[in-house]
Amino acid sequence: MPRAGEVRLVCAADAFSQRKSRILSPINLLFHPTTISASLMNTRPVINDPNMPSLIRKGLSYACGDGSSAVANLVIFTVLLRYLSPTEFGYLSVGQALSTWVQPVLYMGASFVAVRLIAATPQHTSIIAQRMIVLRFAAALIVSSCTIAIALHTSDRSLRAVLLAYSFLFLFYPVQPDFISIGTHRSRVYSISRWITSAVFISGVLILTRISIRAWMVPIAYATSLFASATYGYFALWPTLPVATERADSGFGALLRGAVVVVAAQFLQMGQSSIDTILLTTWKIPVALIGDYNAVGRLTTAGALPFVALIYSLAPMYVKHISNHDIEQINALERRFRACLLVVGVVGAIMIATIGPQVLEFIRGQRIPTGHQLAPIFAIGYLLVALHNSYTAILVYAGATYLYLVTYALGLIGTLVSAIVLIPRFGTIGSAWAEVTGLAIILFVSYLFHRRLLRQQQKECNRSLAAVANF
């Protein structure tokens, strides 16, 4: 293992080597080299390597944006529950369930794949954004067409109207510039875009309640909010984007392969988080107990918001250091990132275990007996999520998307096997421990893959040092 001085020499040598040739740049796997003027390159904001307080501030900025969406959803849920009939609310729930499952396809892993490419070579931001948006829009057309086909074959006219409205909404997801904001480290643009979405959505729903709200109007109102958010996002980001100087009709293959792998991993992750409820239903656990179980699970899921925010704040700097093979900076950034996640994980786990059941009982207005037994187990799971995110996020931003996919595949298998063994004997308690088992497997496997990745990075630095010495 080289000493700190040797690492700096490796980084300097590697930077010199990269100036002579673009072969070492990971973006060359996707783009052909082009000549871009220095003036255009200088229009890009410099991504500085922050200390821990700066990393936390960026994370809080992202969290404020996503937090506004969570607040808006809570407000709108309360309003719709009051103004929609039970039947209309049921139709809307079907559309929301469909939207949840197709969103990974609509986004096509842009917050991982496109962010990594933009952060690695910011001068290609426009080209990457064009290709990603075209790819996402093609996926949205397929999803929307399938939704229309399902709607036209539905005999219920109200459900048909809701599904047709969602097919229209799906066309607005692909054009969101959220991945551009993350890749260029513009957390303020990301946050304000989310606030605009929430404000327009709430305003639209409130206006509809004054007229005559129907279930199919809600996705239309949300599509309007997405349009307003995208308009602001492109207006704010456009001055800092370099002018596209390449054709945007090549390189889709590499982008598509990365996106497909990430989307597959996200579906496995969604399957892991829902397989327990499916098995609880299969073994005929009382519905009331399943409801209490899902209530505690939703509380834990809501607490994962800070993890996503910290991951977004990590991505641009980490990819920059990966591109430069800067092992010293990579290790320092990982330590700060892991420390932030650990603090959030410990605080969140304590809150879930101690006051989580009381919060749920206050919201529901009645006692949840099993909540007090489930909360400590879900708190352990929350801590495991915090720990494994410090490895899984690094895998995907380092380009090891297949290892990311394998990690979640093994986690799903572990959860499934554990649930089959534990649920028949322990019910919802066994299901909670099955989830913890799957998360523990994800943590262990991602840690092993992370160590393998670090060894590969060290070898690349050593090869760069040898190449410069021979030069």
Instruction: List, as one string, the DSSP characters of 446-466.
Output: HHHHHHHHHHHHHHHHHHHHH
Domain boundaries, the chain: 51-241, 249-471
pLDDT in tens, 314-368: 877 788 777 777 777 788 888 888 888 899 999 999 999 998 888 888 866 777 7
Candidate from 40-44, 45-49, 280-284 with smallest mean pLDDT: 40-44
User: Is the distance from CB of 384 to CB of 440 less than 8 angstroms?
Assistant: yes
Q: Is the pLDDT of residue 13 over 60?
A: no
Question: Among the ranges 46-55, 107-116, 292-301, 416-425, which has the highest mean pLDDT value?
Answer: 416-425
Residue scoring higher pLDDT (161 or 361): 161
Q: Which of 386, 408, 391 is nearest to 454 (CA)?
A: 391
Candidate from 77-86, 185-194, 199-208 with smallest mean pLDDT: 77-86
Q: What is the rounded CA–CA span in Å between residue 335 and residue 321?
A: 14
- Locate 147 and state its tokens: 């939704």
pTM to 2 decimal places: 0.77
pLDDT in tens, 259-318: 889 999 989 988 888 888 888 888 878 877 887 888 888 778 777 888 888 888 887 778
Sequential DSSP letters for 99-152: HHHHHHHHHTTTTTHHHHHHHH-GGGHHHHHHHHHHHHHHHHHHHHHHHHHHHH
pLDDT band at 468 (very low <50, low <70, confident <90, very high): low
The pLDDT, as a whole number, for residue 315 is 79
Using alpha carbons, list the distances in angstroms from residue 309 to 198, 233, 263, 409, 453: 17, 18, 20, 24, 24
Q: What is the rounded CA–CA span in Å between residue 105 and residue 142?
A: 10
Q: Is the pLDDT of residue 117 over 80?
A: yes
User: Is the distance from CB of 66 to CB of 312 less than 8 angstroms?
Assistant: no
User: Is the distance from CB of 457 to CB of 327 less than 8 angstroms?
Assistant: yes
pLDDT in tens, 395-429: 888 888 899 999 999 999 999 999 999 999 899 99
The pLDDT, as a whole number, for residue 465 is 57
Using alpha carbons, list the distances in angstroms from residue 340 to 246, 308, 449: 39, 12, 21
Residue scoring higher pLDDT (55 or 403): 403
Q: Is the pLDDT of residue 37 over 80?
A: no
